[in-house]
Amino acid sequence: MSAHKKLREIYMNKKIKVSFQGVIGAYSHLACVNHFSSDVIAIECETFQDAMDMVEANEVDFALIPIENKTAGRVDEFYGLIPSMKLQIVGEHYQKIEHCLLGTQESSLEKIEVAYSHPQGLAQCRNRLRGLNIDPIAKYDTAGSAKEVAHLQDSHIGAIASSLAAKTYGLKILKENMEDEKENFTRFLVLGKKQDIVEEHCEYKTSLIFKINNISSSLYQALGAFANNGVNLLKIESYIPLKKRDESHFHIDVDGSPSDQSLKRALIALRACVQELKILGTYEKAYN
């Protein structure tokens, strides 16, 4: 049995509540449904922090937060919250992104002059919008943009959002497949209270952040802790936390669980050559 199925068994006697940033019809909402089940109780939140706070307050079971997109890259807003995050990463989900250009029922593709969407959504459709001579206007959410277009009822304003958002807010799909990259996926993290579920025969991923010493070759030494112990490095991101502009932190994903001897040795070696180290979570690896 996979760890994800085991986790769902724990909650099988109640409906799972999941918070997400955005409104009903957002890709985050769609990811909640696809990752858990169609009867998940998805709770709208204005910000990522609000979604995480609901988990900490035991108002929901999990928060589902986007961390990166294949086309547009990482979600910087969430990276700024990672150092102070009290929750654990307990899962991940890859959601295929299929953008549509939406408009009012009276609109047409030729009428649209501007398109509202989340900055990530606009970035993922940059070339298509440019080719249609449509100016992008950033808003806080894809589905929220669709909701606003439905409220404004201006046939010259469109939204980049999902077909679910079109159905939810009564808009017309003016053009499908607006994304520049057809194999376009967003990776979401499932955040929750600490879950000690490690099953045999499952492939695991461990995420962590660390701050290196401000000396020559410090990053080389830190990464050597994994290479020297045969641990596969899946991803590395450097970022500067909010209000700490003079510090560089690194977020990495590696294969395995800290219960594996190779990763256990690597973490011991890493702690010896960095200033700060925080394990964000170990969870079953997902595939897109």
Catalytic residue among 104, 168, 186, 282: 186
Distance CA 203, CA 13 (A): 27
Q: Say which amino acid occupies 27.
A: Y
Burial state string for 21-30 with b = 16 or more CB within 10 A and e = fewer than 16? bbbbbbbbbb
Report the chain's terminal Cα–Cα distance, integer Å: 20
Catalytic residue among 20, 36, 188, 210: 188
Alpha-carbon Rg for the chain in angstroms: 21
Cα separation values, 71 from 64, 186, 216, 242, Å:
20, 9, 33, 24
Check if the beta carbon of residue 102 is closer than 8 Å to that of residue 125: no
Check if the beta carbon of residue 283 is closer than 8 Å to that of residue 91: yes
User: 178, 167, 174, 204: which is closest to 90 by C-alpha?
Assistant: 204
Q: Is 188 a catalytic residue?
A: yes
DSSP for residue 22: B
Check if the beta carbon of residue 75 is closer than 8 Å to that of residue 69: yes
Distance CA 182, CA 177 (A): 8
Check if the beta carbon of residue 143 is closer than 8 Å to that of residue 114: no
Q: Is 226 a catalytic residue?
A: no
Structure-block tokens of residue 17: 């509540």
Phi, psi of 19 (to 5 degrees): -95, 150
**Catalytic (active-site) positions:** 186, 188
